[in-house]
Amino acid sequence: MRERSQSLPPRRPRTHWSAKGSKKLRLDPSIYEAIQKERVTVGDVIYIEANTGSCKRVGRSDAYATEFDLEAEEYVPVPKGEVHKKKEIVQDVTLHDLDMANARPQGGQDVMSMMGQLMKPKKTEITDKLRQEINKVVNRYIDQGVAELVPGVLFIDEVHMLDIECFTYLNRALESTISPIVILASNRGHTVIRGTHEISAAHGIPPDLLARLLIIPTNPYTPEEIKTIIRLRAKIEGLNITEPALNKVSEHGSKVSLRYALQLLAPASILSRVNGRPGAIEEADIAECEDLFLDAKRSAIIADQDSKNFLS
C-alpha cells in the first residue's frame, strides 16, 4: 500500500490589528487551515492561541455593522491593547485524568501506524509505575509553582463494611502528599473487623487507622429539634399539619426513629383527604398510619411471636 502525500498550503502573511496597533504575521499551514475552517474574512475578530495553534472566530467587528441592513452576524468591538497578549489560563484536572491520558498510547499518523492500531487494541491499564511517574511530575510542577494541589474529599459511608485489606490500602494511601481529605461514617460500636473473623475494634476500624483520625462526636436530636425538622419537612412537601398531629409525629421520632416519623407524613396526608379532611393532617390520621405501617421494632416483635407462621 502506498501512502499518498498531501500538499499543505504555503505559509502566507496575514495582517492582524487591534485598537492600539497592527502586526503582520507569517502563519503556519496548520493555523491557516484553522482559519479556513472558521471561514474568517477581512473584518472578523479572531483569537489565535500561539501554543496550540487553535483559532476561534469571536465575531465581526462593529465597524462593519452598517455594511448590510439585515445580517445574522454577531458584532463585537475591536480588541483594545496590543495584538500579542499574554493570557493566564487555569485548567482544573484530576490525577485520574492525567493517568488516563498517559495510559493511552498515541501512534503516528501515517498509514502503517493506523493499520497497526487497528490490529491491536489500545492498552488502557493504569499501572503502579505509571502512577508513580505521574506523581513525580505533579510534585515537580507544584515545586516550580506551575500547578497548585487542591485536595479532594472522599466520603465513605458505612465504613465498617470494609474488610481488612481495604483498611490496609487506606492506611497507606493517607500517607501520600497528594491524598484527599477522607471522611468516614459509621453507626456501629464495637464490632468485628471484616476479614479477620475474630478481631473486634471500635466502629469496625483497625486501631492503627483509628488513631490517625479526628473523631467528631454526634449527639441524638432533642424532642424540640425533631419537632422542628418534621415541621420543616412538612412545609417543604406542602403539607398542612395540626399541632396535636405534629406532637404525635415528633413523639414517634423520639421513641422510634426520625426516618419513620418523616415517612408517616405522606400517607397521613392521603388519609386526611380520603377521610374528608383535606385542610390539614390531624392526630387521627397519624394514629391510623401507625396501624397500617409498622416500624422495625414492632415488626420484629410480631415476627418473633408468630415465628411458626413464617417460612424459615
Residue with cell 436530636: 221
Strands 153-156 and 181-184: parallel
Choose from 23-32, 93-102, 208-217 the range with maximum mean pLDDT.
208-217
Q: Which grid coordinates belong to 134?
A: 505521574
Render pLDDT for 46-99 as a digit per residue (tens, 0 to 9): 777 766 667 778 777 777 776 766 666 777 777 776 656 666 777 788 888 888
Does 13-76 match 223-305 in CATH topology? no
Q: Which grid coordinates belong to 80?
A: 483594545
Strands (E), 138-178: 153-156
Q: Which grid coordinates belong to 74?
A: 454577531
Confidence category of residue 234, pLDDT binned at 50, 70, 90: very high
Q: Which grid coordinates belong to 190?
A: 464495637
**pLDDT above 60 for 32:** yes
Domain range summary for the chain, segments of one domain joined by +: 13-76, 95-144, 153-210, 223-305
Q: Which grid coordinates belong to 296?
A: 422495625
> For the chain, what percent of residues have pLDDT higher than 90?
29
Per-residue model confidence (pLDDT) at position 225: 94
Q: Which grid coordinates belong to 206?
A: 483497625
Q: Which CATH number fits domain 223-305: 3.30.2130.10, 2.60.130.10, 3.40.50.720, 1.10.8.60?
A: 1.10.8.60
Q: How are the residues of the chain apportioned to helix, strand and coil, as percentages rounded to the nearest 5? A: 40, 15, 45
Render pLDDT for 278-299 as a digit per residue (tens, 0 to 9): 788 999 999 999 889 988 888 8
13-76 in CATH: which number?
2.40.50.360
Q: Which grid coordinates belong to 103?
A: 495510559
Confidence category of residue 111, pLDDT binned at 50, 70, 90: very low
Per-residue model confidence (pLDDT) at position 15: 54
